[in-house]
Amino acid sequence: MSDSDIGFMTAAELAGAYRRGAVSPVEVVRMLLVRIGRLNPRLNAYNLVDEAAALEQARASEARWRAGNPLSPLDGVPASIKDIILTKGWPTLRGSLTVNPDQAWNEDAPAVARLREAGCVLLGKTTTPEFGWKGVTDSPLTGITRNPWNTDTTPGGSSGGASAQVAAGLGPLAVGTDGGGSIRIPAAFAGITGLKPSFGRVPAHPLSPFGTVAHLGPMTRDVRDAALMLRELARPDPRDWFGLPWQDVDYTADLEAGIAGWRIAYSPRLGFAKVDAAVAADVRRAVQVLADLGAIVEEVDPPIDSDCTEMFHTHWFAGAYNALLNLPEAEFARLDPGLLKTYRMGKAISLADYMRAANARGRLGAAMRDFHQRYTLLVTPSLAVPAFEAGRLAPADMGDAYWTAWTPFTYPFNLTQQPALSVPCGFTADGLPIGLQIVGPMHRDDLVLRAGAAYQSASDWHRRRPEIAA
């Protein structure tokens, strides 16, 4: 097999190949390292690659497979970690010049620990904007990360390095974070699958400075891999006091059971968003596929309106202030100017304003729980626009708009903490991916995954490969 063939095997396919002895974890890792060496300079997806450690882990996995004793269905499968998540032995620099790399890095965050316990091979760390503050990926530390489908465009953010590496075939699994869309935005822009699980489903440590809008989750090539990965990531960790009680759920068990008879709400604009025509058309066609699969689809808007933007901004800006609360004054000059501006807006928020936003958030969450008494799922576009020029905060025709101007479909569900999945559902005439978002009731990650799998069983957008990856 060529390194391109290896690069686009799913985790499930790799495990099957390991079981048959058709390929070994060591061969896979060596080929991926070659691909990373060739493509990463053009994409800037990884900011750290540890070849020696990856090969050592691959050899240990190879021995386990040969002995017929793999640790999990993901044993030997390569994965990456977003450089905002603590990883033992590697610096976690958060895209910032203000983080000193010369310190002890001796702790794994829960997500990293769970992947190690599952036998995954950790290849390295992926790029992020500074402290994950925006929906695109560039930073003072690592520069601009680019989209494999068109390197003039952004792969989204803040998990943009993760989406670029999966889309380019530089590793089948990636751990991302999502505080306002940071898994789903890059999944949509790069044409991959990205799940923001229910809040607390994947334990976090340390807790995000952005608070209870922040989630961790899988970024993969298809829904089955996301389900396999979620099972491992969701295992308990006492360090997260928000963590949900452990449920021994196999998220792959009912993936093929279909969605016939499900009541699905389709909201093309959430009642207020302006959506690119190509995005709107492809999402509408994807919704028809769900109907063809037997779902009862009704075009209806959920109880979300444009007031949600201010509510989210209050939480997000306050989070940026919290993230930099203890930064020495001399270090502020080294920050991304946009992050500094966001910090200052957070500093200006009064306690009364914050509590008003928190109360409004509670009402929104309750309204969405009531909405899901009538509808199994809600589907929307993942984003209002296709990928745009790399290095910008917003499309050129939006000028200096904040990143939330083009992400109206993502951040509401960070406020409500519901599970939300982005899957590819088409391409623009210029060859840029388009995403369909599937939102489920709180704690029903299984329903979201099952609907995504049903859609992918009837489409092949997730199997497309960017030209750069050949």
* Residue numbers annotated as active site: 82, 158, 182
Q: How far is the C-alpha of 153 from the C-alpha of 151, rounded, in Å? A: 5
Kindly report the CA angle at 157 between 34 and 309, in degrees rounded to 5?
170
HSE of 18 in the Cβ direction (CA atoms, 13 Å)?
A: 36
Q: How far is the C-alpha of 384 from the C-alpha of 270, rounded, in Å? A: 11
Non-local (6+) Cβ contacts of 112 within 8 A are 81, 85, 86, 87, 88, 122, 175
Instruction: Read off φ and ψ for residue 236, nearest 5 degrees.
Output: -70, 155
Q: How far is the C-alpha of 384 from the C-alpha of 1, rounded, in Å? A: 39
Before 206, cis peptide (omega within 30)?
yes
The pair of structure tokens assigned to 273 is 């968003």
The pair of structure tokens assigned to 334 is 């080294």
Non-local (6+) Cβ contacts of 205 within 8 A are 86, 109, 110, 237, 239, 240
Non-local (6+) Cβ contacts of 18 within 8 A are 24, 25, 61, 65, 70, 75, 76
CB 216 within 8 A of CB 233: yes
Q: How far is CA 171 from CA 42, 121, 152, in A?
A: 16, 10, 22
CB 141 within 8 A of CB 61: no
Helix (H, G, I), strand (E, B) or coil at 195: strand
Q: How far is the C-alpha of 225 from the C-alpha of 174, rounded, in Å? A: 10
